Amino acid sequence: MKIAVIQGPNLNMLGVRDQQVYGPMRLEQIHAQMKDFAEQNGIEIEFYQSNLEGEIVDRIQECYGDTDGIIINPAAYTHTSIAIRDAIAAVSLPTIEVHISNIYRREEFRQKSMTAPVCTSSIIGFGPFGYHLAMVGMMQVLSEISALRAAQQGAPQE
């Protein structure tokens, strides 16, 4: 099982940027915790962060045929990027959107997600723990997909 974790703009500034909203953890610490969890559960995990929309689109597209699922925090692009939305839809992989803060308790312009409708689910407002929840959720989603495929292969053909 292989999961790609894609982080959007300004997440490289976690721990420095607006700690009242995002907390004191740095992105490297979040990734280290995710890596530990992945290793304990036999999951291959890759991390990617970019402040550039096109690079995020490219990374999502690179997941096609190479990755089982995506955990993404599009950050500010959540609210504006049709390109990222279209890339997620195009690869048709289980995708979980994560937001550290509760976007529904923030400014009005942050309360609309362009990407959520094409994601499998969203985890919002749990701080860095949301990434752990996303890992557990992704394991469940991929397990269900695997069980469904096995059942379909074992079902008699009509």
**Per-residue pLDDT tens for 103-133?**
888 778 777 899 999 999 999 999 999 999 9
pLDDT, one tens digit per residue, over 28-76 is 999 999 999 999 999 999 999 999 999 999 999 999 999 999 999 999 9
Q: Is the pLDDT of residue 2 over 80?
A: yes
**CATH of the structural domain 2-154, one choice from 3.40.1160.10, 1.10.1060.10, 3.40.50.9100, 3.40.630.30:** 3.40.50.9100
Catalytic residue positions, numbered: 22, 99
Tokens for 149? 């495929």
Q: Put residue 44 in one of left, alpha, beta given phi > 0 → left and psi -120 to 50 → alpha.
A: beta
CA pair distance 132, 32, nearest whole angstrom: 11
Who wins on pLDDT, 59 or 146?
A: 59
Query: Which pLDDT belongs to residue 158?
Result: 53
CA pair distance 158, 155, nearest whole angstrom: 9
Among candidate residues 12, 47, 49, the one with its CA nearest the CA of residue 32: 47
How would residue 149 be classed by pLDDT, with cut points 50, 70 and 90? confident
Distances (CA, A) of 141 to 17, 37, 108: 32, 16, 31
Which residues is 7 bridged to in the sheet? 49, 73
Q: Is the pLDDT of residue 5 over 70?
A: yes
Query: Which pLDDT belongs to residue 24?
Result: 86
Query: Which pLDDT belongs to residue 120?
Result: 97
How much is the CA Rg of the chain, to the nearest whole Å?
Answer: 16
CB 4 within 8 A of CB 71: yes
How would residue 157 be classed by pLDDT, with cut points 50, 70 and 90? low
Who wins on pLDDT, 155 or 132?
A: 132
Q: What is the average pLDDT across 84-107?
A: 93
The domain locations on the chain are: 2-154
Least confidently predicted of 53-57, 92-96, 126-130, 147-151: 147-151
CB 141 within 8 A of CB 69: yes
CB 41 within 8 A of CB 2: no
Pairing mode, strands 121-124 and 2-7: unpaired
